[in-house]
Amino acid sequence: MNSRRLGGKVALVTGANRGIGRGTALCLAEEGADVLVNFRTHAQEAAEVVTEIQSLGRRALAWQADVAERAQVDAMIQGAVKHLGRLDIAVANAAHSVRQPVTDLDWEVVQRIMAVTQFGVFHTCQFAARRMVEQAQGGKIIIISSIHAEAPFARSGPYNMAKAGINHLARTMGAELASHHINVNVINPGWIDTPGERAFFTEEALRQGARRIPWRRMGTPRDIGRSVVFLASEDADYITGSCLRVDGGFMVGLTLPEAVPEE
């Protein structure tokens, strides 16, 4: 008998080849789950995650799909069931961000951000929920959102909008699926040390920024992965439609700048 919390479960994680998705996939596998590792690009990274999961004694499969493409998400869910037998846990993690002022954004850029970060989450959650309802054995759906859903960080308008939208989607689906014992919850990560963040900030900027977080460090993908494991486990069976902020105190530590002296 598998004593790990997720023994015998099958999970799908979108955007699992790097960053939060990778950390989540590995944490789920460490707790006994078999994992479908979704990726759009960087196939070699996805293959490495699969190898790491298999080294833990779990089954794993890399699946290329753009979550913005509805038919590809449908095929991916069906593929998880065909190759791994069922679907118990779905983690909608994949996102896309471009940081520019709203006045400077090209419409095509906005559409891509929304297609991945909002509609991609919808596709993943909807198709996963349909499968879980069909299985009639409950399930766990976890959306990886952001503190951007709570705070209007500059240069992130469409991303902020998408994240706020998927948080409300989680609450709505939590209400709709409770009678099926399918839990739907959302995690709002704070400032997490990922390849995506390093595309926007220098090493020194990250180091200085980490010192301003009350916990005195940036979060790691494993910080989020362990939170996902909790929400995916029986320990969270009575939690649905909820938001778990995992940010080292970032939000509660926000303060106004020093007042400018009057002349």
Cα 225 from Cα 252, distance rounded (Å): 22
What 3-state class would DSSP assign to 183? strand
The pair phi, psi for residue 195, each rounded to 5°, is: -55, -35
Q: Which of 146, 179, 227, 233 is catalytic?
A: 146
163 is catalytic: yes
Q: Which of 140, 145, 156, 163 is catalytic?
A: 163
**Cα–Cα dist 263/249, whole Å:** 35
Catalytic residue list contains 238: no
Decide if 9 is catalytic.
Answer: no
13/188 Cα distance (integer angstroms): 16
Give the CA distances from residue 72 to residues 51, 239, 240, in Å, rounded to whole numbers and listed in that order: 24, 30, 27
Query: What amino acid is encoded at 247 in this protein?
Result: D
- Give the span between the Cα atoms of 10 and 248, in whole angstroms: 29
Q: Which of 9, 140, 159, 227 is catalytic?
A: 159
For the record, the structure tokens of 109 come out as 């850029």
Question: From residue 171, how far is each of 92, 220, 230 by CA, in Å?
Answer: 14, 26, 18
Known catalytic residues are: 146, 159, 163
